[in-house]
Amino acid sequence: MSNRKMITAALPYANGPVHIGHLAGVYIPADVYARFQRRLGKDVAFICGSDEHGIPITIRAKKEGVTPQDIVDKYHEIIKKSFSDLGISFDEYSRTTSPKHYETSQDFFKVLYEKGKFTEEMSEQYFDKQAGEFLADRYIVGTCPNCGNENAYGDQCEKCGTTLSPSELINPKSMLSGNVPILKDTKNWYLPLNEYEDFLNEWIIEGHKDDWKPNVYGQVKSWLNDGLKPRAMTRDLNWGVPVPLPNAEGKVLYVWFDAPIGYISFTKEWAEKNGKNWKDYWQSEESDLIHFIGKDNIVFHCIIFPSMMKAHGDYIMPKNVPAFEFLNLENDKISTSRNWAVWAHEYVEDFPGQQDVLRYALLSSAPETKDNNFTWKDFQTKNNSELVGIFGNFINRVAV
């Protein structure tokens, strides 16, 4: 294991605050690992930032009657302050609307384009005639062909976790107007993921069978067994990083192309401020790259992003991708749409000075290998019995 640790935590969407499910499933475990590595004297870069180009942001903006920039400006500050208040010790917390990120992600795209790694394809994409625009994956909902969930998105069913394309949905509808969309020809740039199957099999299936978490290994193995398909790395949208080609007006980078590159662009920002060389962390075999994520992000961090980095040719592969399961609240799935959540910023306001109590409670029931549950009764017990009673009594006896 290297003395240099490049640790990333999944970028939260800047379309709402973070809740305890996010904290327990990604950010507190990543923070504990980063703090532990620093205590061991390792050279640590702990990097994160707001994902500000996701479709959920444009959906939120339309609902509130404001611009996407208004939404990301608001929630980036709320999220950043929540992490700071809860002691998440990021070395850099940035955002994907930063100039450095636009530059880095566009340069990354151009390298792949100039190396001939993309295919240009005309395809039929769903188009909302009433709204007058093409529909990105998350603007389309329909019935999942795998589990029958009637509210599956055009890129993924959040109920069963199946990765989808909009054409696979049964009874698709536009989230903009509620109408049935039509198919219309458009050109986009695709990354042929099928060309990276041998690499992914050798790297993950053969190389990490014994040291990666079973949920990560199992999901990757399942996708590879089913066979990978080319995936569009550009979208017909007006919100995102513009595709840096002269014949690509009105097109932006696919959010799952630009978002993981945020880890790199944010590292560049941190390195410039601290007299470091960012390449030591991303392009040196002397560095260990670790991605902390939720289980719904496995495909992006273990299939798409590694394929992008392999296509580029200059980047190291992750040593590990610890993906956590989901945390429920009072035996019910956390739901932002139903406001069924404990929001981080509200906890800090309602329980001043009690950040470590929440960190302890979430760590002790972290959904590391299976979905777990948070209840206020258990939170009370952990505080009164374990922290005050047992640990506090131990400290008191030692002091006496």
CATH 2.170.220.10 fits 116-236, yes or no: yes
* Predicted confidence (pLDDT) at residue 138 exceeds the cutoff of 90: no
Closest CA to 333 of 11, 82, 19: 19
Under a CB-based contact definition with an 8 Å cutoff, are residues 14 and 307 in contact?
Answer: no
Confidence of residue 118 (pLDDT cuts 50, 70, 90): very high
Confidence of residue 162 (pLDDT cuts 50, 70, 90): confident
* Predicted confidence (pLDDT) at residue 143 exceeds the cutoff of 80: yes
The pLDDT of 79-91, averaged and rounded, is 98
The strand pair at 133-134 and 119-128 is best described as antiparallel
Two structure tokens written together for 313: 């040719």
The confidence score (pLDDT) of residue 295 equals 94
The confidence score (pLDDT) of residue 385 equals 95
The pLDDT of 217-245, averaged and rounded, is 94
**For 272-329, what is each residue's pLDDT tens digit?**
999 999 999 999 999 999 999 999 999 999 999 999 999 999 999 999 999 999 999 9
The confidence score (pLDDT) of residue 39 equals 98
Give domain 4-108+257-395's CATH superfamily.
Answer: HUPs (3.40.50.620)
The pLDDT of 22-34, averaged and rounded, is 98
The pLDDT of 250-271, averaged and rounded, is 96
Which range (13-17, 137-141, 210-214, 382-386) has the least confidence?
137-141
The pLDDT of 123-140, averaged and rounded, is 85
The pLDDT of 173-191, averaged and rounded, is 92
The confidence score (pLDDT) of residue 238 equals 86
Q: How much helix, strand and coil, in percent to the nearest 5, is found in the chain?
A: 45, 20, 35
- For 78, counting Cβ atoms within 10 Å of its Cβ (0-12 exposed, 13-18 middle, 19+ buried), the class is middle
In this prediction the pTM is 0.91
The pLDDT of 135-149, averaged and rounded, is 90
End-to-end CA gap in the chain: 42
**What are the extents of the domains in the chain?**
4-108+257-395, 116-236
Q: Give dist(CA 252, CA 259) in Å, integer.
A: 12
The confidence score (pLDDT) of residue 125 equals 85
The confidence score (pLDDT) of residue 372 equals 96
* Predicted confidence (pLDDT) at residue 98 exceeds the cutoff of 90: yes
**For 36-72, what is each residue's pLDDT tens digit?**
999 999 999 999 999 999 778 888 898 899 999 999 9
- Mean pLDDT (the chain) is 94
Angle of helix 305-312 relative to helix 255-274, nearest 10 degrees?
70
The pLDDT of 22-32, averaged and rounded, is 98
Confidence of residue 207 (pLDDT cuts 50, 70, 90): very high
Q: Give dist(CA 171, CA 64) in Å, integer.
A: 27
The pLDDT of 247-254, averaged and rounded, is 92
Greatest mean pLDDT among 3-17, 132-146, 331-345 lies in 3-17
E-only strand ranges, 110-169 = 119-128, 133-134, 140-143, 152-153
The confidence score (pLDDT) of residue 158 equals 80
Pick left, alpha or beta for residue 366 (phi over 0 → left; psi -120 to 50 → alpha; otherwise beta). beta
Question: Do 116-236 and 4-108+257-395 have the same topology in CATH?
Answer: no
The pLDDT of 240-258, averaged and rounded, is 94
